[in-house]
Copies of this chain bind each other. A is one copy, B any other.
Amino acid sequence: MAQKSFRQALNEALHHEMRRDPNVIVLGEDVAGGSGASGQKDAWGGAFGVTKGLLGAFGPSRVRDTPITESAFVGAAAGAAMTGLRPVAEIMFVDFLGVCFDQIFNQAAKFRYMFGGKAVTPLVIRATYGAGTRSASQHSQALYPIFTHVPGLKVVIPSSPYDAKGLLIQAIRDNDPVIFLENKVLYDTVGEVPDGAYTVPFGEAHIVREGGDATIVALGRMVHFAREAAEILAAEGIDCTVLDPRTTSPLDEDTLLEMAEETGRVVIVDEANPRCGMAADISSIIAEKAFGALKAPIMKVTAPHTPVPYAPNLEAAYIPDAKRIADAVRKAVAFKRS
């Protein structure tokens, strides 16, 4: 299978789906770039190049550079979705949700319920998330716990190029509003990606690695650190399962509980802030539903309760890493009931 970058995988997904379905449109700030200017068109293809080439392939009616008004264009995407299109709207950084959150959580997410089941809103909102690019407090957040909290939204966080493509195709074909979050630091990571279209279903966790001593649950970029930690630990004789839920809403509770029960020890890695975060969420599900099988405290490895700092050394300390994960697993393994 061909090796492709995470970015290219996403780009292929968009190409496939736009070709397949004329109702799919892409809109956002500089998703093409160069609109109205003297030089090259499609100059950016999105701030991270993910939508590059779509303008040429599908034209300016279906690939739209928007004004910098996220409420207007995300809300328009929601309205378009409710009336027959399948829009893929890009919010450059998920940190910008604050200027358009109403259209996401009170409108798109609730249409179907409020209207007694009559609305169908096949909307995808793509956004980058995550720290690690020295972009500081307002361009580095994770924020998926906020979306996961909201009934009516689906939330997708791919960790590999393969999943990125399959999950994005699924998101576009899905009939509910989907928040699709891309870790900026992963764009250049490479992996096997089939050329054709395929879907990765929502709500099915990926068992990245199996081991009987502990289960490490991780999302997005954290999956890579979890795997790294698992390798370090394997060398010490501690064998870990690494589980990537891939979607936080729906969440694959069954696999999660199964792995928690099999290993009896769980460490959850979450790049988000800790309070009401994903680690908390997953922990609480296990503490309620797999309690009897637990041999140790459920450990959380998360960012601290602080904004994301700018200085490289502080930012590095902010982001969970393999060392902290391995320490947490060791602590869980060493735990003895007093």
Residues of A with Cβ closer than 8 Å to B?
A: 71, 95-106, 109-110, 113-114, 136-138, 145-146, 148-152, 248-249, 251, 272-273, 275-281, 283-289, 291-292, 294, 296-300, 304-307, 309, 335, 337-338
7 smallest beta-carbon distances between A and B, as pairs: A98-B102, A291-B297, A283-B284, A280-B284, A98-B101, A287-B287, A145-B276
Q: Which of B148, B276, B307 contacts A278 (CB 8 A)?
A: B276
Residues in B with CB closer than 8 Å to A151 are: 273, 275, 304-307
Q: Which of B95, B148, B297 contacts A289 (CB 8 A)?
A: B297
Interchain CB contact under 8 A, B338 and A292: yes
26 contacts between A and B (CB under 8 A): A95-B106, A97-B101, A98-B102, A113-B137, A113-B307, A145-B276, A148-B275, A149-B272, A151-B305, A152-B307, A276-B278, A281-B284, A283-B283, A283-B287, A284-B284, A284-B287, A284-B300, A287-B297, A287-B298, A288-B297, A288-B299, A291-B294, A291-B296, A291-B298, A291-B335, A292-B335
Residues in B with CB closer than 8 Å to A281 are: 275-277, 280, 284
A96: nearest chain-B partner, CB-CB = B102
With A113-B307, A280-B280, A280-B281 known, 14 other A-B pairs at CB within 8 A are A71-B99, A95-B106, A97-B101, A110-B137, A110-B307, A146-B146, A148-B275, A149-B273, A149-B276, A249-B275, A277-B281, A279-B284, A289-B297, A292-B335
The complex places the Cα of A102 from the Cα of B91 at a distance, in Å, of 14
Q: Which of B138, B277, B283 contacts A106 (CB 8 A)?
A: B138
Residues in B with CB closer than 8 Å to A249 are: 275
Residues in B with CB closer than 8 Å to A102 are: 96, 98-99
Residues in B with CB closer than 8 Å to A114 are: 136-138, 307
Residues in B with CB closer than 8 Å to A296 are: 291
